[in-house]
Amino acid sequence: MITIREVEPDDPEALALWDEQQQELAERYDAPDLELETRFSSLLVSLVGYSDDEAVATVVLRWSPHHEDGAVEVKRLYVKPDHRGHGHSRALMGVAESFARRAGATRLVLETGDQQPEALSLYDSIGYTRIAGYGEWKDDEGTLCYGRTLPTRLLIVNGTIGAGKTAVAAGVLDALGDRGARVAFLDADAVCQAAPARESDPYHQELLFAAMSRLAPLYRQRGYGCVVVARVVEAPEDRARWSLAFASEVGAPEVVVARVTAPLDERRARIDVREPEGRWRDWAHARTVELDDVLETQALDDVVVENSGRSARDTAEELLAEIGW
């Protein structure tokens, strides 16, 4: 059992483990002049595994300089010889993948070699498949490259009119973007601004999902593995429809529905700011009550967060903490 911690790029214990790895690889490949990277551009995270406070394992992630946007490269996976056989490499790869997912990665890639049978067995067992060679050693016959495609992470910010779902979703975009994640924000209500509406589709739900199924692949092609959407979720089948719209070559996305709430007087005050008078304001004042009752009754949300008396960014930060993003 190891404890895995994030460390600084120049952490001395990590550097010592990298030196040990270089020496071992030089022996395995009979390459005494082998030199491995010690500085990584576009570093995502450096991890070290500890056993009884001894640094015994390491792995590094960086945004790949050799692949499409959204691809994260795994580097420097290493476990000290006397600590092997306990699942430490598998544990490190699991934590590394979690970091990549939270960063909005769409794919993990790595290179290894034919003199590392333990590594080959590990990658095969955790779902990696062979990919085309890349990087400095792409033409070397003994170099083998692997990849694993990650599903999209989709967050739908739900809420009645005036609850602040669009502002909070934008706050999530800012929060994740400030962390260096690859994330996109879609205001689904804006997509549905069209008149007149079909009688069979008064809130443009059919139009929305048709549009989303076409937009989703474009965001994946640009390497955005996290997508945040602001939209009411009031029907039990909506989650499945969102999942279908954002499905990719690796399957269904990870879908989280988070509802934001606010007191009625605050919701109505926000409505009045957007529309001080007129038919839309009167409709929205009534609809916010009706829709709030529907959302409470349906209870389709994974989490519910209060969005009152603070900034939308603060609410977004709490929401992200609640869902583990």
Same domain, 306 and 162: yes
Looking at 51-164, list the stretches that DSSP marks H as alpha helix, in order from N- to C-terminal side: 88-102, 117-125
pLDDT digits (tens, 9 = 90+) for 147-190: 999 999 999 999 999 999 999 999 999 999 999 999 999 999 99
Statement: residue 38 has pLDDT above 80: no
Mean pLDDT in residue range 49-75: 97
Strands in 129-131's sheet, in edge-to-edge order, are 3-7, 43-51, 54-63, 71-79, 107-113, 143-149, 129-131
Same domain, 307 and 161: yes
Specify whether the CB–CB gap between 323 and 228 falls below 8 A.
Answer: no
* Cis status, amide bond into 196, omega within 30 of 0: yes
pLDDT digits (tens, 9 = 90+) for 205-249: 999 999 999 999 999 999 999 999 999 999 999 999 999 999 999
Same domain, 173 and 262: yes
Statement: residue 36 has pLDDT above 90: no
Same domain, 241 and 297: yes
pTM exceeding the 0.85 threshold for the entire prediction:
yes
Same domain, 172 and 295: yes
Half-sphere exposure of 104 (CA within 13 A, CB side): 27
Same domain, 143 and 249: no
Same domain, 97 and 163: no
Last residue of a domain, one of 85, 115, 149: 149
Last residue of a domain, one of 94, 125, 149: 149
Last residue of a domain, one of 149, 178, 194: 149
Same domain, 183 and 126: no
Same domain, 141 and 181: no
pLDDT digits (tens, 9 = 90+) for 68-83: 999 999 999 999 999 9
pLDDT digits (tens, 9 = 90+) for 86-125: 999 999 999 999 999 999 999 999 999 999 999 999 999 9
Q: Write out the residue range of the structural domain in which residue 259 sits.
A: 153-323
Statement: residue 145 has pLDDT above 90: yes
What total number of domains does the chain contain?
Answer: 2
Same domain, 176 and 249: yes
Q: Where are the beta strands (DSSP E) in the chain?
A: 3-7, 43-51, 54-63, 71-79, 107-113, 129-131, 143-149, 153-158, 183-187, 226-230, 254-261, 303-306
For residue 45, what is the domain's CATH number? 3.40.630.30
Same domain, 114 and 188: no
For residue 275, what is the domain's CATH number? 3.40.50.300
Same domain, 206 and 134: no
Q: How many helices (H) and strands (E) does the chain have?
A: 10, 12
